[in-house]
Chain A
Amino acid sequence: MSDSTDKTEDVAPEPRHRGIGVEETAEGRQELETVERTDPMELLIERGSVLRLPESAASDPELGDASFGEGETMIINLGPQHPSTHGVLRVMLELEGETVLRSKPVIGYLHTGMEKTGEELTYVQGATNVTRMDYLSPLNNELVFALAVESLLEVELPPRAVWIRMLMSELNRISSHVMWAATNGMDLASTTMMIFGFRERDLVLSFFEKTTGLRMNTNYIRPGGVAADLPDGWEDDVSAIVDTIETRIDDYDELLTGQPIFRQRTEGVGILDPELAVAMSASGPILRASGVAWDLRKSMPYLAYDEVDFDVIVGTVGDTFDRYAVRLNEIRESIKIVRQVVAKMPRGDYRVQDKKITPPPRGRIDESMEALIHHFKLFTRGFDVPVGETYVAIESPRGELGCYMVSDGANKPYRMHIRGPSFVNLQSVPALLRGGLMADAIAVLSSVDPVLGEVDR
């Protein structure tokens, strides 16, 4: 934040008439200020980077020409079936030659009504639904859902459950960021990077499979704790994974960071001011790349992030290269956190010992009638949650992942709203693309890292 305030202080105290010119306008003679003098947010609203056209306009040349016929602009579609749009994102671009003027991300192709589905599933089943939203970081989705339910239940988790969650969440951040590095490499024509990224992600996914039984959509973090304890020898597995990835990250660094083609395609491309990033509600690596040191793990700690030591990685320019650098270094910070978790993992229960929330162990069901009843009730009806509403947010690999949950006292959420970071970050795209080249649009879109499963939900 200090960055942005410094900037405004540089500009604001100077007399405002410095940049004024007198122009003949339709309204008569007017004093006009140059664009550089305008507050970036005002400029954003006034000039509008968003192409506010109906979705059908891009397929209707006459409508496009009629509304935007001046000069040589044309409207073209990027996606939804374009290899570099990461899923089914479509961007309508208004082009003047090869320069992008306004643009509009058109989304909804993957909309499956998960918030509506969430109202039909009990709190016990809910994690299976939310985990499918951001399919590159399923454990973070489960985490925010579980935290929201626990916030309404006002239960406190045993420390081991908290630290297991932290371990899985950080491993997931690593896998998500290397996956981003892979797709970003592919977008910028580095096939090697793609193969490397998928290779490293597989290490983490194999550990997920060993721990949770599934590689993706794990349904591992549930209200009340986690589904199972970590497998025997997990310390060795995790240490081996982070040791390997740490050396591989150095390979990435060598492969991309100093590479002239990569730098030319990313440096100075798609710059986002810190003020604008905050105004656009951007979060995660995009916000941090713009120089705003805001990371919910540090700023508003949840789980036990206040007990581990790590740094918040911040960029200086806010361009595509910074977003790459922030993510790459966040992998290193996550590795730091994972190592501390391995060293400090407390012993004890991995889920809360409350019969109303946690199903009994399998062995107890054969011996105890009460355990059988609890098991049956939990998996048929679930548990009731007191009336209330809560908003819980965590730092997912893509930014602030929030869950607003309303309970009417029943066994299902009355309303479950997910604040998807990809969904919100995507609206910075028009501001990032404006004035850039068509070819840069690919690099910029990739650097925003939208996961369409979460955008459309």
Chain B
Amino acid sequence: MGGHPDAEAGPRRDAALSTPEEPGAGAEDVEAAADGPALVTAGVAACAGVPVTVRLGQEVLHPSRAQYVEVARGLKEAGFDFCSDVCAVDYLRHPDRPLPAGVAPERFEVVANLLNLAQRVRVRLRVQVPESDPACPTLFYLYPGTENMEREAYDLLGVRFADHPDMTRILMPEDWEGHPLRKDYGVGRVPVQFKEAPGPR
């Protein structure tokens, strides 16, 4: 290990990166899932036909926005009665992330982590949300505990959750403009509210 190892490490890892354009890049993941231990969502009818990947031992479903709530309802009936987390991700600068075949990448993703307390397994739902219409159905009526999490996702990333009972800002001030966790929202771009006296700079 001599020379500049990091300089080599970067491109090598990029080469290994599978992009959705490459045929079968996502399909590999799906096959790997079929070979490995049985999927925890295998018996759930609502999940049939939903692209699924397993990586790092974590099962991820990729429902469309239309399927999202139905898949969650099916999972809830199958014992996934605890929604541990809902968050959103802005993929503006990382559009070529690996996704299974049949899932078109969009700018935003809503990520929900469901937990089956009886069988002690987790499953994650990743929903693609387009930039032109950053909205997603709410899980509030299935999991009331998602209320604050969805408000946070709306506040920081600007993804609206349709039919959410209280779609307001939660962390930022109510009159704040913009959504700070978006990738095009620069750090320090917005002037601070309370400034010191103007200095020599």
| A and B form one complex | yes
- A residues sitting closer than 8 Å to B (CB atoms) are 1, 41, 44-45, 48, 50, 52, 54-56, 107-108, 111, 113, 115-117, 120, 151-152, 154, 278-283, 292, 294, 299-300, 355-356, 370, 373-374, 377, 381, 383-384, 386-391, 393, 400, 402, 404, 406, 408-409, 414-415, 417, 419, 423-424, 426-427, 456-457
Chain A minimum-CB-distance residue to B12: A384
**B113–A404 CB distance below 8 A:** yes
Chain B minimum-CB-distance residue to A48: B165
Q: A115-B156, A419-B87 are in contact. List 6 more A-B contacts (CB 8 A).
A: A44-B144, A45-B140, A54-B174, A387-B17, A391-B122, A417-B89
Bound complex: CA A457 to CA B4 (Å)? 37
Q: Inside 8 A of A426's CB, which chain B residues have their CB?
A: 148
B117 at interface by CB-CB < 8 Å: yes
A-binding segment of B31-39, B44-52, B92-100, B129-137:
B92-100
Q: Inside 8 A of A54's CB, which chain B residues have their CB?
A: 168, 174
Number of B positions contacting A (CB below 8 A): 57
Given contacts A44-B144, A387-B17, A402-B84, contact A278 B117 (CB under 8 A): yes
**A356–B171 CB distance below 8 A:** no
Q: Inside 8 A of B199's CB, which chain A residues have their CB?
A: none
Q: Inside 8 A of B140's CB, which chain A residues have their CB?
A: 45
B104 at interface by CB-CB < 8 Å: no
Given contacts A1-B117, A45-B141, A415-B89, contact A388 B84 (CB under 8 A): no
B66 at interface by CB-CB < 8 Å: no
How many residue-residue contacts, CB under 8 A, span A and B? 143
Shortest CB distance A444–B (Å): 17
**B81–A278 CB distance below 8 A:** yes
Shortest CB distance A433–B (Å): 16
Q: Inside 8 A of B170's CB, which chain A residues have their CB?
A: 107-108
Given contacts A151-B56, A424-B145, contact A408 B94 (CB under 8 A): yes
**A355–B5 CB distance below 8 A:** yes
- The 8 Å CB contact of A107, one of B98, B143, B171, is B171
Bound complex: CA A386 to CA B55 (Å)? 12
Shortest CB distance B119–A (Å): 10
- B residues sitting closer than 8 Å to A (CB atoms) are 1-2, 4-6, 9-10, 13-14, 16-17, 55-56, 58, 60, 81-85, 87, 89-90, 93-94, 97-98, 111, 113, 117-118, 120, 122, 124, 140-141, 143-149, 152, 156, 165-166, 168-174, 180-181, 187
**B1–A279 CB distance below 8 A:** no
Q: Inside 8 A of A281's CB, which chain B residues have their CB?
A: 82-84, 143, 145-146, 149
Q: Inside 8 A of B148's CB, which chain A residues have their CB?
A: 423-424, 426-427
Shortest CB distance A50–B (Å): 7
Shortest CB distance B122–A (Å): 7
Given contacts A54-B174, A151-B56, A387-B98, contact A406 B89 (CB under 8 A): yes
**A390–B117 CB distance below 8 A:** no
Chain A minimum-CB-distance residue to B140: A45
Chain A minimum-CB-distance residue to B19: A387
Shortest CB distance B41–A (Å): 16
Chain A minimum-CB-distance residue to B111: A404
Chain B minimum-CB-distance residue to A301: B120
Q: Inside 8 A of B156's CB, which chain A residues have their CB?
A: 115
**B180–A116 CB distance below 8 A:** yes
Bound complex: CA A42 to CA B111 (Å)? 25
Given contacts A356-B6, A387-B13, A404-B113, contact A152 B165 (CB under 8 A): no
**A52–B6 CB distance below 8 A:** no
**B84–A400 CB distance below 8 A:** yes
